[in-house]
Amino acid sequence: MLSGAGKGHLGAGIFAHGLARVAGAASGVLIGVYLAALSGRGMHVGAEFVGVLGAVSFGAELVTSVPMGTLSDAISPRRLMVAGALVAGFATWLMGATPRVPVFVLSRVLEGVGAAAITPPLLAWLAEVTEYESGLRARVMSFFELSLLCGLGLGGIVATELWQRQGAHGFATIAVAYAACAALFYGAVRGGAAHGGNAALHGLKEALRDPAVRHLAPVWLCINAVVGMWLGPTLPFLLTRHAAGGQYLDGIFAAAPTRVGWLLLGYSAVFGAGVTVWSFVLPRLRVRTAMMISLWAMLPVCGGLYVLNHSAAMTDAARWTMVVATALLVMVESGFTPAALAWLAQSLGRGAGKGAAMSVYSVLLSVGAIAGSLLAGALGQALRMDGLLLGTAVLGAGALVLLRWARVPEEGQADGAI
């Protein structure tokens, strides 16, 4: 059993992760707004290039996730988390240093490497220190997801406020936030001692052999592609660019880019409220049932957003009614990730090698997010906001079909005995 002090260290580590997510989300939104401003000043920058930049960051995270996760077993997770936060901070500062395309690409590569050095070691540490308390593990993984959501929501606010007050110098402020993350990780992370290279490789092999991981991986890829579409820089680019067309949401915040941050904060609050409700519902449902309900909700969410995107002729009352209905459906769809993440942590079993195994999570996240970011750029260029909605609906339907074929563990519930 963990002592009160041990649980305090868990809370501090999750808080540090939330701050890192604030910095990462702020960086992504600020990039979209920054490049939209450069486009307005004559620089040749389109939605496709913005989507490619998002894919570059996810690609760097993909390539380095498994080595970083394995390394966190061979040495210690704290060292990697601290180093990752510092590297990501330098990358963010570099983004605002000069408006040159090679610098943009290098910055995104380094930020992806920094993310890879934080997430798998942190998940491995959380899984290891809670391995004998399954109920605590489920709560910790839910709090991990909530810290991600809080970070994404607050990151949008931070980014747009920084842009309003500091312009491109806001990237330097985000770099300072990453430095604070490094200090928090150094003070919070306890335990997670080095296990050596053999244990690390064994953990990775066991994860790759797990049939549940292999069967569920395609579903995760579809969902993570949706994440890459909506949480990359393409969305703020489309919302803030100066554009003329028949779509209500396209360029809706061109005159007030700070509203993008408030929009993301509102979405994160709704999604976080849904995750909180699901934390009470999940123990009473089978894993497959919870995932199916969440995925089915994604399709009417796309329908509601499509109606909003073509609501120029609607009254304000009708438009807000649609917003509320769509928000409720977003709460329903929020149950997928916490259930799947808690199940993945439980599937690792006990012992060493968790860092290498948890890197599978980052690999699936990165591959899906790369595809989603590139898809968002292409569909955003061709169909604007309707393109993102079309891509989301297709990916959601694909995930539903794949989940019906997947052999998901049904013996346990989502409270840690998954």
Looking at the 3D structure of the chain, how many domains does it have? 1
Does the residue 240 lie in any domain?
Answer: yes
The CATH number assigned to the domain holding 240 equals 1.20.1250.20
Does the residue 282 lie in any domain?
Answer: yes
Q: Tens digits of per-residue pLDDT, 56-107?
A: 887 888 788 778 877 776 777 888 899 999 999 999 999 888 778 888 889 9
Does the residue 255 lie in any domain?
Answer: yes
More confident residue, 393 or 248: 393
- The Cα–Cα gap between 126 and 78 comes to 12
Average pLDDT, the chain: 79
Q: Tens digits of per-residue pLDDT, 41-56?
A: 767 766 677 777 877 8
Does the residue 26 lie in any domain?
Answer: yes
Q: Tens digits of per-residue pLDDT, 185-229?
A: 988 876 555 555 555 566 666 666 666 667 778 888 898 899 888
For range 14-38, the mean pLDDT: 85
Does the residue 410 lie in any domain?
Answer: no
Does the residue 1 lie in any domain?
Answer: no
- The full DSSP string for 46-93 is -HHHHHHHHHHHHHHHHHHHHHHHHHHHHS-HHHHHHHHHHHHHHHHH
Does the residue 210 lie in any domain?
Answer: yes
For range 364-386, the mean pLDDT: 84
More confident residue, 382 or 212: 382
Does the residue 273 lie in any domain?
Answer: yes
- The Cα–Cα gap between 190 and 396 comes to 39
Q: Give the number of other Cβ atoms within 10 Å of residue 256's Cβ.
A: 12
Is residue 178 over pLDDT 60?
yes
pTM exceeds 0.75, yes or no: no
For range 355-380, the mean pLDDT: 76
Give the range of the structural domain holding residue 242, as residue numbers without chain letter. 8-189+196-405
